Structure 1
Amino acid sequence: MQTKKTYTVQEATKKLEHYCAYQERCHQEVRQKLEGMYMIPEAIDVIIVHLIKHNFLNEERFAKTFVQGKFRIKSWGINRLSFELKKKNVSKCNINLAISEIENEEYVEVFDGLAEKRANLLKETNIYKKRKKFIDYFLYRGWEPYLVYEKANELIK
């Protein structure tokens, strides 16, 4: 018979301090980690309060780093960024704050560069299919429909 490893509150707190120090985490990820360690709800609350108090856990900081990373590395649009943060139960206020840090000029520049690159990569000969693939690609990645359709009409003729 295999037994589950149990942790004291102090052990779990130390473990979660390392977990949060390694990478920014949201409250939901930390709660899931603690539930996976079979901690009782009262202990989970005590540990989360400790992590927030000692600045290991900060939802605003998490939202900002998440948005900057996904925008710069994966080139996600605002719609996808806000959707993913909502899935992680980040507050609407923190989502808006993090998204507002993306400069409008940079946002449009990234989109234009991606659009040019994507339009050149598509080898479809049928213009309608090519336009649909182009549009689907960008809508899935969370770019605003008005930007996508405008660019599709401009690049694919």
Structure 2
Amino acid sequence: MEKKSFTFDEIKQKLVNYCVYQDRCHAEIEQKMREFLLIDEAKEEIFLYLMKENYLNEERFTRSYIRGKFYIKHWGKNKIKMNLKQKQISEKLINMCFDEIHDDDYTKTITRIYEDYSSKQKGLQEYQKKSKTIKYLMGRGFEYEKINDIFD
């Protein structure tokens, strides 16, 4: 199948729409641009335009990503951080944006998931239930220390 070719302005508009639909990070724009086989100068120009017009804002992306993954998907900070690093977001920016998650919400979420999951473990000794539930929470990206704090 032949690839349709677009003008520079059409590509630029497509990337604007891509950013408007949902906050994006640089790596996602980079990936999207590969589909259009642009020369480096054109990529550069589009990047600068998207940033200048505030379509592309890495901090805003990071903040909305953190809110979504925590408040909607109920991921812990470790899993969120790992996924943001895969999107080439710097650790410094990630840590700065974690203030999007309120500490009491974090504790409540761990407690709620713990109780939900634990209550579904049937026919197990208490310690087996506890260790299985801790493993589950860690798999969702919650820190061992934070999980343990809930029991103390």
TM-score, with normalisation over the residues of structure 1? 0.88
| In structure 2, distance between residues paired with 1:94 and 1:12 | 29
8 Å contact 2:110–2:137 — kept in the other structure? no
After TM superposition, the structure 1 stretch with the greater mean CA deviation from structure 2, 91-100 or 56-65, is 91-100
Aligned to 2:141: 142
How far 1:133 moved relative to its partner? 2.4
Give the count of matched residue pairs: 152
Task: Note the alpha carbon deviations across 1:18-56, whole angstroms, 9 max, x for none.
Answer: 110011111100110010122222211211111001000
The residue type paired with residue 65 of structure 2 is F
TM-score, with normalisation over the residues of structure 2? 0.90
8 Å contact 1:9–1:47 — kept in the other structure? no
Identical columns (%): 37
1:70 aligns with 2:69: yes
After TM superposition, the structure 1 stretch with the greater mean CA deviation from structure 2, 36-45 or 135-144, is 36-45
1:108 aligns with 2:107: yes
After TM superposition, the structure 1 stretch with the greater mean CA deviation from structure 2, 43-52 or 119-128, is 119-128
Task: Report the CA distance shift for 1:109/1:3 in structure 2 as closer, same or farther (over 3 A).
Answer: same
Cα-Cα RMSD:
1.7
Structure 1 unmatched ranges of 5 or more: none
| In structure 1, distance between residues paired with 2:16 and 2:85 | 24
After TM superposition, the structure 1 stretch with the greater mean CA deviation from structure 2, 106-115 or 125-134, is 125-134
| In structure 2, distance between residues paired with 1:10 and 1:116 | 53
**Runs of 4+ more than 4 Å apart:** 126-129
How far 1:83 moved relative to its partner? 1.0
How far 1:4 moved relative to its partner? 1.8
The residue type paired with residue 38 of structure 2 is M
